[in-house]
Each structure stands twice: as C-alpha cells, then as structure tokens.
Amino acid sequence: MDKPRQERLGQLLLENNLLTSEELDEALKEQVGSGKSLGRVLVEKKLLTEGQLTSILAEQIGMKYVDLNSYPIDPSAAGMVDAEIAKRHTLIPINMEDGKLVVAMADPTNVYAIDDLRIMTGMDVTLVVSAREDIEAAIGRYLHEAVEVGEVLEGMEELEELVEEEEAVEAGEEAPIVKYVNLVIEEAVGEGASDIHIEPGERDVRIRYRIDGVLHEIRRSPRRIHPGMVSRVKILANMNIAERRVPQDGRFAMRIGDKAIDFRVASIPTVYGEKLVLRLLDRASMLMSLEDLGVETLPLKKLSDAFHKPYGTVIVSGPTGSGKTTTLYAILSELNRREVNTITVEDPVEYQLRGVNQVQVNTKVGLTFASALRSILRCDPDVVMVGEIRDPESAKMAIESALTGHMVLCTLHTNDAPSAMTRMTEMGVEPFLIASAVDCVVSQRLARRLCGRCKEKAEYEPAYLEKIGFPVEDTMTIYKAKEGGCPFCNGMGYRGRIGLFEVMSIDEEIEKLVVDRATGHEIGRLAISKGMSTLREDGYVKVKSGITSIEEVLRVVM
C-alpha cells in the first residue's frame, strides 16, 4: 500500500474512533520497519479486527461492506458457484437482487474472479466487501466440495433397489451415496457435533447436528437419497439392511483427520421411513480430569474423598447426554493404578481404558448388567463401575457389592442428587442398605461455554436477578452470547461446553432421612443447609467467572 493510501487509511481510522493518534503513530513506525501494510500491522497488534479493517478499506474504495456474521446468506445463491472457485478467489454469493448476483469478496479488485463468476453463473454481479475469515467460514458452512447432491442423484435408482448387503458393498467406496454419507460425517466432526439425525419426511430428508447440546438443521436433501443413506450407514454399523420394520442398534469406528471417532447408531421406523441417529464419541474427549470438566474446588474435595475410600458407592446422575460417562471415566483414570483391580460393565464400552477390565453387555446371549455384575464379584475386584443401573436386580447387587468391600461407581437417571436416593428405594432396595452403602451422589448438566472471542457484557434489572436467585456483587461483570456470534463459533455465540455439578455427601443426618423414607425434597433441603451447592448455584458461579451466561444456566437447569 503506497504512502498516500496509508495516510488516508490512518485518517479514516481516527475519524471513526477506532484508533488513538498514539496507537496510529506507533503502528506507522512498526509498519515502516517491517515492510508490511498498515492494516496488517494493526490486525497483528490486535488494535483492529479483520472485520473493522475490511470495513474501513471498503469505505476507502467506495464499496459497501457486509458483515457476514449477521447477514442472512441465501443458500440457493451460495450454491451457484463451485466450492473450488469460491476458495481460490475467497468469495461467496450471498443474495440475488434485481436480477443480479450479490457476491461478497475479500479482494474486489480481482477482475479475473469477477469474469469467472459472470461466465459460470450467466448473471451480472454486484460486489460487496467482507472480511476474509468471514468469507472462509461461510464457504465452509454453505459450500461442500466433497460431493454435490446432484452427483448423489446420479445412479440413485439402482442404489435404491439394493437390499442385500453384498450388493450394497459392491457399489464401492466411490459411489456417490458413499461420498455423501462421508461428507455428512466429516462435516459433523468438523462442527464438533455429538449426534447426527437423519430424518425422512414426506418430500425430503432433514439432516440435523446436535452441537453443544442444541440441535441445528444443516440441510434438507431430496427424498430419493434416503434409502441409499440408510443402507450405507447400516453397512458401516454391521446392521441388517434388509430389515426396515424394527428398531436396530449398531456401532462402527472411523478416523476423521487426526481424530479417532466411535459411532453408535440407532435406527427406528417412522411413517416416512427409517430415522437414523449417529452418536459421535471422540475418544480424546473422554480423557479429561474432573477439574477440566468444571468441578469447583469444594465439591471436588467432597467427591474425591468419597471415591478414594476402599469401599462404598458413588452415584452420578443426570439425563441422557449430560456427561455422566465422561465423569465416570475421569474418576476411573484417577483410580486406575497397577495395584488396583478395576472391572467395568458397560453398554456400550465407549472408550477403552488401558489397565481396566471392561465388559460389554450382550443381552442376545444373556449377558445383562445383573449377570455380568454377579460374575465380576467372583473376580476379586477392588473397583467396580456399573455403566447404568436400569433394574432392581442390578441396583441391589451394586449396593450389596459396596457393603462387601468394593468401591462401586454407577449412574442413574434422576433430575438432581437427592432424588437418586429415593429412586434407589423405588427400585426395591432397602433404605437402610442405601444409607449404609452410598457415600456421595453427583448430579450434573452440560452448559454451553460462551465464545471467548465475541462474548458481550450484559446488563440485567436487579428485580430480574432477584427473581431468579442470582447473587449480585458490586464488582461483578456478567457476559452474554453475542447475537449472530462470530466465525470462530460459527455464529452461535457459544463454543464448547462446561459441566454444572451438584455434589451431595451422605452423612449421618442424611442417612437417617433415607432410612425414614424421606422425599427427595426433604433430603435436598437438609443437604443445602449443610453447604451443598445446587446445579443452578454452581451455574451462577460459572456465570460470574465469565464462562457461561445466565440464559444458558436457566436453559439446562430447572
């Protein structure tokens, strides 16, 4: 950039109050020494964002700037260009106005790219300017170079007729439907999804990803590709592709990039065909410490004291998808020592821990939780992990195991920690056995983390904070998710998740309530009086730390 343009850029930045004169002078000195453009120096020094710089440069050349983070991109317009061309020239069509294609570009002076666009689309082009990183994020979201739906439709008639596994396998890895399923899977892994939902409708197939606990519709595909998608996934998961009338389960593993991902597949027949749900299990994400999961210092000490005892029971409770298994694996990792015999019974084994003997439930041959647990107790265990207590028999055996000198780790589906005690009673276990065996109950939820790059300060009315029981402090700063997010969080305002925990230690007074068959509410009231932080209170601690938002805590906690 020549000197007059540098000076003009600096003047515009000052006029828009984006820089102080001192910051500009310092940047100009560094720019002369480095040979870089003034804009690049300002971005590297974090005095400007890419978006702010692009906005000012657009003003310099008299063009309109569009912030793609908040602009509603028209998918049909975006699909008019090839992904390879879009990446090569860093551009993406975003709309159609007055018969012209509106295209966002990082470099609107690239006449070759503009000519390519006109030839490819056969339309006149209206150019706008957007930040390079925003365009790249939009290309990743709206354009997919691996395969186009049109390719999948070619040859779909013969694929739809495949009902035998051997015939479907012969379609080969290069078949369009195989490429399309691989694209869906790879995209889900790239987005950090925990589940993929493939849902047939009357006229189309809806594909949704669960990202950070929330379902997002990614695309709708032609109805004709559904049978091929189902057959492909069933083959991967070693399921019966000829059976479409009953639910099925399966699993498979794939390496996507540098990640080893396990997939659990469930199919269920609906009125429009089989719905598939693929749960993604990233093996690396299972190896987290309790501190990394978000357990605060005092609850962590209570939990650690409980599971380091030579015998007793630690129960982890919460709804499906709340991270219970990850918490159990974190505890197992701490207990996993050479001198300790640890045996687990799981359905399924979600991650293989070195040094731990893991048993996979197989109901088809009679290997249930209860029968496996019965056999495990004859194998001289020190630590026993029961993946999930589902029936009275396994509940009784788990409690009796703790009373006979074993440390038992297990999960239950309850809404809070106190309810776990009453749930065990409802399953037929004697209250005095529960009171004697259980040392600690953990209830948990997963809340989305605020995006560290775009979170905003939030202001709330004191009456509202008082209504929701939020403890107000004078020097407190509360953050919220930015509407529309940023490219780093894919426009969500959140990226990643953090655990909210409720840890209840069982002492003599709580034991007495359990023996007297007190309600969960009564047990909870006593536990709170003894210092237990509820799920909501733990969430508020993380709000004060700037990790999550009030809205997110209220979303996941009653």
Q: Which two tokens stand for residue 524?
A: 């909870």
pLDDT at 162 over 70: no
CA distance 359 to 376: 9
Predicted confidence at residue 6, as pLDDT, reads 54
**Count of beta carbons in the 10 Å neighbourhood of residue 459:** 6
Query: Which helix or strand (DSSP H or E) is residue 546 part of?
Result: none
Predicted confidence at residue 204, as pLDDT, reads 85
pLDDT bin (cut points 50, 70, 90) of residue 543 is very high
345: alpha, beta or left, given left = phi > 0 and alpha = psi -120 to 50?
Answer: beta
pLDDT bin (cut points 50, 70, 90) of residue 80 is confident
Question: Is-contact 447 552, C-beta < 8 A?
Answer: yes
pLDDT at 28 over 50: yes
CA distance 213 to 191: 12
Mean pLDDT across the stretch 402-421? Answer: 92
pLDDT at 516 over 50: yes
pLDDT bin (cut points 50, 70, 90) of residue 165 is very low
Predicted confidence at residue 470, as pLDDT, reads 92
Predicted confidence at residue 146, as pLDDT, reads 40
pLDDT in tens, 230-286: 999 999 999 999 899 999 999 898 888 778 888 999 999 999 999 999 999 876 666
For the chain, give the percent of residues with pLDDT over 70: 87
Mean pLDDT across the stretch 502-511? Answer: 95
Mean pLDDT across the stretch 340-355? Answer: 84
Predicted confidence at residue 164, as pLDDT, reads 40
**Residue 539, SS3?**
helix
Question: What separation in angstroms does the CA of 443 have from each of 144, 299, 349, 420?
Answer: 41, 11, 22, 9
Predicted confidence at residue 515, as pLDDT, reads 95
Strand pairing partners for 548? none
Mean pLDDT across the stretch 413-438? Answer: 93
Predicted confidence at residue 348, as pLDDT, reads 75
Question: Is-contact 508 438, C-beta < 8 A?
Answer: no
Mean pLDDT of all residues in the chain? 84
CA distance 368 to 35: 70
* Amino acid, single-letter form, for residue 394: S
Strand pairing partners for 128? 104
Terminal-residue alpha carbon distance, the chain: 57
pLDDT bin (cut points 50, 70, 90) of residue 299 is very high
Cα 66-68-70 angle, rounded to 5 deg: 100
pLDDT at 147 over 50: no
Nearest to 167 by CA among 235, 109, 105: 235
Q: Where are the alpha helices (DSSP H) in 268-350?
A: 283-286, 290-293, 297-307, 324-335
Higher pLDDT, 319 or 167: 319
Distinct helix (H) and strand (E) counts, the chain: 26, 18
Mean pLDDT across the stretch 52-63? Answer: 71
Mean pLDDT across the stretch 428-433? Answer: 92
The long-range contacts involving 286-292, CB below 8 angstroms and separated by at least 24 positions, are: 286/325, 286/326, 286/329, 286/350, 286/351, 287/329, 287/333, 287/351, 288/326, 288/329, 288/330, 289/330, 289/333, 289/334, 290/327, 290/330, 290/331, 290/334, 292/330
Predicted confidence at residue 8, as pLDDT, reads 65
DSSP state, 451? P
CA distance 13 to 8: 9
Predicted confidence at residue 168, as pLDDT, reads 46
Q: Provide the whole-model pTM.
A: 0.69
Pairing of β 438-450 and β 494-505 = antiparallel
Q: Is the dihedral of CA 93, 95, 96, 102 positive or negative?
A: negative
Question: Is-contact 273 288, C-beta < 8 A?
Answer: no
Predicted confidence at residue 222, as pLDDT, reads 82
Q: Which residues 6+ apart lie within 8 Å of 17 measured at CB?
A: none
**Count of beta carbons in the 10 Å neighbourhood of residue 80:** 17
Output the 3-class SS for 146-166: CCCHHHHHCCHHHHHCCCCHH
pLDDT bin (cut points 50, 70, 90) of residue 305 is very high
pLDDT bin (cut points 50, 70, 90) of residue 487 is low
pLDDT at 108 over 50: yes
pLDDT at 210 over 70: yes
pLDDT bin (cut points 50, 70, 90) of residue 152 is low
**Residue 534, SS3?**
coil
Q: Which residues 6+ apart lie within 8 Å of 148 measured at CB?
A: none
pLDDT in tens, 349-390: 777 788 899 998 888 888 888 888 888 888 999 999 988 888
Strand pairing partners for 179? none
Mean pLDDT across the stretch 424-451? Answer: 93
pLDDT in tens, 169-208: 445 555 778 888 988 898 888 888 999 999 999 888 999 9
Strand pairing partners for 259? 256
Question: Is-contact 121 80, C-beta < 8 A?
Answer: yes
For the chain, give the percent of residues with pLDDT over 90: 38
Mean pLDDT across the stretch 300-318? Answer: 93
